[in-house]
């Protein structure tokens, strides 16, 4: 048994515990920002370490936990997302609570949950990782004690999330019962297309779709995104969703690969529905976070559609898309945070006049949104192209067409936001300030979005290698 493979997870746990300890030891005032920087530095170290694990492909605990390129790809994605989220939200978190150390520690522990999910190779590990992540998110969503929206969002998320977990578990129990195993590869070996098995599969699919906020299991997402503190919303949108994708891919492509014929049709319908509903409802939104929530539902549909290819090319597209989606969201949420720090609310109207007050942030927001809409030369275009190329090869032409049409519609509401930024007068003449770390994150997002869009080669190679390690 090679415990060394767990090093990165253990390190994150230790980091979280250290932060709690420091939070207790330090006098309040100093504890604030230094803890955040400490967390960021620690995560950077761990990120560097994970590159060390490349090339490894080994399992621990009787095949419960696997470290391969696929797992590493997602772990690095989660760590980067957490680092960037922390960086742009220092000011916000300070305004949110006095217990900043607690907040950082919880965020890190949810990161552990995601990392475990990425490596999970059996149903129990999937479940434990998923619950570790989700339960902590319940707390984080309700973390804003000043706002009744936050506790409402937390409660909704908790109730619906727990119920979805119960459904997922119920599905897992059936799968376990009819294959006699919970390890994914052994499930694949014993799988049969019996009704009980399909029942288990269907329940699990519903449970995963809930985590990824796929229509019609998305109902929680807009409310929770709107009520949660912005960094938590960002993590929910970027990392939690990606974690859902990671387990979904592993479970469905490793354990349930032989039942493809049964689940492909349903997945295609779910993906199509997500694209449609996410985009047409987003048109009506007036709250930036809620708008981004619907946009994330649509994006989840795009990502899920890559599963239809059920081969390395499709998975590569999904991984690529997950990264560029993360990068674009970082930019959008960073700008939302900056505006929230300024006005204390998340209305789309609050963005008005941003182009004059802070042209740089306006550009970042525009590029991020257009990337999500899939306009070249932004990264989103390439991501959509990879996914659609992969699935049209497998005959899902209609989904690709639907995706393209919906992309066009999405440009409409993204441009509505851009229009507010560029053509509406600012509400007041107050000086606009944003912290340096936030600007750096915004710049990173901008450069990464353009770079991936213009030169997708390296990232595509990385995603390709990760995707191939699943087989």
Partner 1 sequence: MIGLVHFLTVAAIVFAIGLYGVLSKRTIVGILMSIELMLNAVNINLIAFSRFITPEVLTGQIFAIFTITVAAAEVAVGMAMIFRVYYDRNTVHAARLDEMRW
Partner 2 sequence: MFNQYALSHAALIPLLPAMSFIIVGFFLRRLPILAATVSVCMSLISFALSLGVGYGVIANNITVDNPLIQRIPWLSISGLTVDMGVYIDPISAMMLVIVTLVALMVQIYSIGYMRGDAGFGRFFAYLSLFASAMLGLVIAVNFVQLFVFWELVGLCSYLLIGYYFHKISAREAAKKAFITTRIGDFGLLVGILFLQILFGTLDFQQLASNVPLYVAEHGTNLLTIVALLLFLGPIGKSGQFPLHVWLPDAMEGPTPVSALIHAATMVVAGVYLVARAFFLFSVLPNAMEVIAWIGAFTACFAASIAFTQRDIKRILAYSTVSQLGYMMLALGVGSVTASMFHLMTHAFFKALMFLAAGAVLHGLPNKNDIFEMGGLRHKMPVTFAAMTIGVLAISGIPPFAGFFSKDEILLAVSQVSMPLYTIAVVTSFMTAFYMARLLIVVFCGSEKPDNQPHEAPMSMRIPLVVLGVLAVIGGYIPYANHFGDWVRFGSASHEGLHWGIAATSTVLSILAISLAWYIYGSGKVSPDKLSRRFSTLYKLSFHKYYIDEFYLWLNHTFVDGLGKILYWLELHFVEGIVNGIAGLPVGLGDLVRKSQTGKLQRYGLIMFGAMLILVVWLVLLSPLFKGVLSGGDY
In the complex, the residues that contact partner 2 under the rule CB under 8 A are 155-156, 159-160, 163-164, 167, 195, 198-199, 201-203, 205-206, 210, 216-217, 219-220, 222-223, 260-266, 268-269, 277, 279-284, 308, 313, 382, 385-386, 389, 393-398, 409, 412, 455-457, 460
Please identify which residue in 14, 21, 44, 159 interacts with partner 1, judged by CB under 8 A: 159
Confirm or reject binding of residue 152 to partner 1 (CB under 8 A): yes
Tell me the HSE value of 164 on the side-chain side, using a 13 A CA sphere: 25
Out of partner 2, partner 1, none, which partner does residue 149 contact, by CB within 5 to 8 A per kind? partner 1
- Can you give the length of the chain in residues? 471
Residue 31 main-chain phi, psi, to 5 deg:
-65, -20
**Contact between residue 348 and residue 354 where contact means Cβ atoms under 8 Å apart:** no
Helices (H), 228-374: 230-235, 241-250, 260-282, 288-305, 312-343, 354-357, 359-373
Least distance CB 238 / partner 1 (angstroms): 21
Out of partner 2, partner 1, none, which partner does residue 173 contact, by CB within 5 to 8 A per kind? partner 1
**Cα 142 from chain centre:** 19
Distance CA 451, CA 320 (A): 13
What distances in angstroms separate CA 145 from CA 27, 100, 289, one per listed residue? 22, 13, 19
Three-class SS of residue 74?
helix
Residue 52 neighbours by CB under 8 Å, 6+ apart: none
Nearest Cα to Cα of residue 383 among 334, 328, 444, 311:
328
Out of partner 2, partner 1, none, which partner does residue 127 contact, by CB within 5 to 8 A per kind? partner 1
Q: Would you say 158 or 387 has its CB closer to partner 1?
A: 158
Give the pairing type, strands 58-60 and 65-67.
antiparallel
Least distance CB 31 / partner 2 (angstroms): 35
Helices (H), 142-259: 148-179, 184-190, 195-212, 220-227, 230-235, 241-250
Q: Would you say 348 or 354 has its CB closer to partner 1?
A: 348
Q: Where in 220-279 is the site for partner 1 (CB under 8 A)? A: 222-223, 226-227
Task: State the Rg of the chain over Cα.
Answer: 21
Least distance CB 162 / partner 1 (angstroms): 5
Work out the number of other CB atoms within 10 angstroms of the CB of residue 145: 12
Q: Given its phi and psi angles, is residue 357 left (phi above 0), alpha (psi -120 to 50 degrees) or beta?
A: alpha
Q: Would you say 135 or 273 has its CB closer to partner 2?
A: 273
Please identify which residue in 13, 18, 60, 135 interacts with partner 1, judged by CB under 8 A: 135
**Contact between residue 390 and residue 314 where contact means Cβ atoms under 8 Å apart:** yes
Confirm or reject binding of residue 106 to partner 1 (CB under 8 A): no
Q: Where in 272-331 is the site for partner 1 (CB under 8 A)? A: 284, 290
Least distance CB 135 / partner 1 (angstroms): 5
Distance CA 333, CA 194 (A): 45
Distance CA 43, CA 23 (A): 17
Confirm or reject binding of residue 347 to partner 1 (CB under 8 A): no
Which residues are bridge partners to 347 per DSSP?
287
Please identify which residue in 75, 156, 211, 384 interacts with partner 1, judged by CB under 8 A: 156
Q: Would you say 169 or 389 has its CB closer to partner 1?
A: 169
What distances in angstroms separate CA 173 from CA 121, 178, 248, 273, one per listed residue? 16, 9, 17, 28
Please identify which residue in 70, 74, 104, 127 interacts with partner 1, judged by CB under 8 A: 127
Out of partner 1, partner 2, none, which partner does residue 195 contact, by CB within 5 to 8 A per kind? partner 2
Q: Where in 371-410 is the site for partner 1 (CB under 8 A)? A: none
Rounded to a whole number, what is the largest CA-CA distance in the chain? 68
Which residues are bridge partners to 60 per DSSP?
65
Q: Would you say 55 or 195 has its CB closer to partner 2?
A: 195
Least distance CB 463 / partner 2 (angstroms): 12
Number of residues that bind partner 1 (CB under 8 A): 42
Least distance CB 77 / partner 2 (angstroms): 22
Confirm or reject binding of residue 181 to partner 1 (CB under 8 A): yes
Q: Would you say 31 or 153 has its CB closer to partner 1?
A: 153
Out of partner 2, partner 1, none, which partner does residue 198 contact, by CB within 5 to 8 A per kind? partner 2
Which residues are bridge partners to 67 per DSSP?
58
Q: Can you state the percent helix, strand and coil of the chain, rounding each to 5?
A: 80, 0, 15
Work out the number of other CB atoms within 10 angstroms of the CB of residue 47: 17
Q: Would you say 75 or 384 has its CB closer to partner 2?
A: 384
Q: Would you say 156 or 250 has its CB closer to partner 2?
A: 156
Q: Would you say 76 or 240 has its CB closer to partner 1?
A: 240
Confirm or reject binding of residue 167 to partner 1 (CB under 8 A): yes
Q: Would you say 21 or 163 has its CB closer to partner 2?
A: 163
Residues forming the site for partner 1 (CB under 8 A): 123-124, 127-128, 131, 135, 138-139, 142, 145, 148-149, 151-156, 158-159, 162-163, 165-167, 169-170, 172-174, 176-178, 180-182, 222-223, 226-227, 284, 290
């Amino acid at each position: 048994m090679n415990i060394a493979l767990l090093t990165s997870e253990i390190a994150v746990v230790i980091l979280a515990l250290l932060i709690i300890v420091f939070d207790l030891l330090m006098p309040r005032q100093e504890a604030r920002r230094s803890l955040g920087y400490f967390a960021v530095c620690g995560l950077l170290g761990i990120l560097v370490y994970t590159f060390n694990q490349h090339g490894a492909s080994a399992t621990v605990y009787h095949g419960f936990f696997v470290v391969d390129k696929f797992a590493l790809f997602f772990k690095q994605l989660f760590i980067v997302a957490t680092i960037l989220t922390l960086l742009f939200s220092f000011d916000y978190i300070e305004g949110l609570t006095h217990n900043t150390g607690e907040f950082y520690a919880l965020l890190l522990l949810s990161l552990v949950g995601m990392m475990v999910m990425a490596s999970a190779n059996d149903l129990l590990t999937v479940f434990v990782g998923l619950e570790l992540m989700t339960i902590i998110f319940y707390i984080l969503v309700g973390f804003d004690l000043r706002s009744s929206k936050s506790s409402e969002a937390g409660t909704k998320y908790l109730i619906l999330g727990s119920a979805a977990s119960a459904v997922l578990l119920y599905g897992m129990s059936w799968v376990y019962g009819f294959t006699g195993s919970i390890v994914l590869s052994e499930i694949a070996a014993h799988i049969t297309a019996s009704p009980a098995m399909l029942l288990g599969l269907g329940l699990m699919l519903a449970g995963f779709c809930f985590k990824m906020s796929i229509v019609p299991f998305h109902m929680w997402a807009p409310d929770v995104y709107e009520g949660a503190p912005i960094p938590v919303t960002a993590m929910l949108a970027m990392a939690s969703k990606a974690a859902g994708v990671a387990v979904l891919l592993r479970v469905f492509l490793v354990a349930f690969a032989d039942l493809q014929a049964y689940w492909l049709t349903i997945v295609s319908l779910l993906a199509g529905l997500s694209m449609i509903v996410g985009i047409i409802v987003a048109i009506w939104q007036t709250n930036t976070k809620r708008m981004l929530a619907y946009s994330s539902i649509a994006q989840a549909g795009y990502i899920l559609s890559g599963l239809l290819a059920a081969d390395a090319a499709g998975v590569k597209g999904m991984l690529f898309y997950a990264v560029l989606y993360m990068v674009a969201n970082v930019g959008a949420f960073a700008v939302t945070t900056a505006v929230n720090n300024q006005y204390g609310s998340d209305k789309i109207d609050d963005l008005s006049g941003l182009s004059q007050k802070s042209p740089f942030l306006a550009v970042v927001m525009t590029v991020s949104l257009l990337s999500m809409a899939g306009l070249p030369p932004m990264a989103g275009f390439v991501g959509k192209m990879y996914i659609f190329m992969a699935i049209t090869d497998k005959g899902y032409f209609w989904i690709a067409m639907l995706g393209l049409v919906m992309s066009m519609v999405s440009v409409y509401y993204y441009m509505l936001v851009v229009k507010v930024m560029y053509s509406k007068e600012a509400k007041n003449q107050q000086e606009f300030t944003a912290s340096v770390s936030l600007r750096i994150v915004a710049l990173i997002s901008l450069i990464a979005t353009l770079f991936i869009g213009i030169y997708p080669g390296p990232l595509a190679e990385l995603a390709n290698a990760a995707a191939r390690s699943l087989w």
